[in-house]
């Protein structure tokens, strides 16, 4: 992770940023490997990692899955606009959208649309079924605009 000029709510030093960057690139690195790369011994490196976890800087460790190898060859970015910004409409939409396995990421956004969904699906036919049978059945949706990913250049 590049250290950029920004105001932080917690204090991190250059070594903390190095550790975070190493774990972002490869979460399977063990403490000894990280310690060697940042120039510390194992114990202080381990303590820094635990501190970063406790502070919530490191929230989780994940495997990055190649979705195409699992048959999910179509990624759709789906903009959703609700009929109203009434809190009950927002809450109901959010409760329903998190149940859908096809939706791998959902952002509540500002601008013309209210939500941006990242949908991973096998093909266009399955996406059509998803929209008709699942998304369209969620109440209070006014507009859905879909963009189909042709190629991913960067994904962190």
How high is the pLDDT of residue 156? 74
What are the residue boundaries of the structural domains of the chain, listed by start?
14-54, 67-148
pTM of the entire structure? 0.79
Q: Are 127 and 121 in contact (CB under 8 A)?
A: yes
Tell whether the model's pLDDT for residue 3 goes beyond 60: no
Specify burial of residue 131 (Cβ count, 10 A radius: 0-12, 13-18, 19+): middle
Tens digits of per-residue pLDDT, 87-141?
Answer: 999 999 999 999 999 999 999 999 999 999 999 999 999 999 999 999 999 999 9
Tokens of 41: 């011994």
CATH architecture of 67-148: 2-Layer Sandwich (3.30)
Phi–psi pair at 53, nearest 5 degrees: -70, -45
Contacts of 144 (CB under 8 A, 6+ apart): 78, 79, 80, 81, 131, 135, 136
Q: Which CATH class is domain 14-54?
A: mainly alpha
Name, in order, each residue with C-beta under 8 angstroms of 150's C-beta and a sequence gap of 6 or more. none
Q: State what percent of residues in the chain have pLDDT above 70.
A: 95
Per the prediction, the chain carries an average pLDDT of 93
């Amino acid at each position: 992770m590049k250290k950029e000029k920004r105001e932080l709510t917690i204090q991190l030093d250059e070594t903390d940023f190095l550790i975070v960057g190493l774990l972002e690139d490869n979460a399977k690195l063990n403490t000894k490997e990280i310690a060697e790369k940042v120039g510390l011994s194992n114990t202080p490196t381990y303590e820094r990692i635990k501190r970063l976890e406790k502070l919530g800087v490191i929230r989780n460790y994940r495997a990055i899955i190649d979705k195409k190898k699992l048959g999910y060859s179509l990624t759709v970015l789906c903009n959703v606009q609700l009929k109203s910004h009434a809190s009950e409409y927002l809450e109901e939409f959010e409760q329903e959208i998190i149940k859908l396995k096809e939706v791998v990421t959902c952002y509540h956004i500002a601008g013309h649309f209210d939500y941006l969904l990242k949908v991973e699906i096998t093909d266009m036919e399955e996406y059509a079924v998803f929209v008709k049978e699942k998304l369209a059945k969620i109440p209070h949706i006014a507009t859905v605009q879909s963009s189909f990913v042709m190629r991913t250049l960067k994904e962190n």
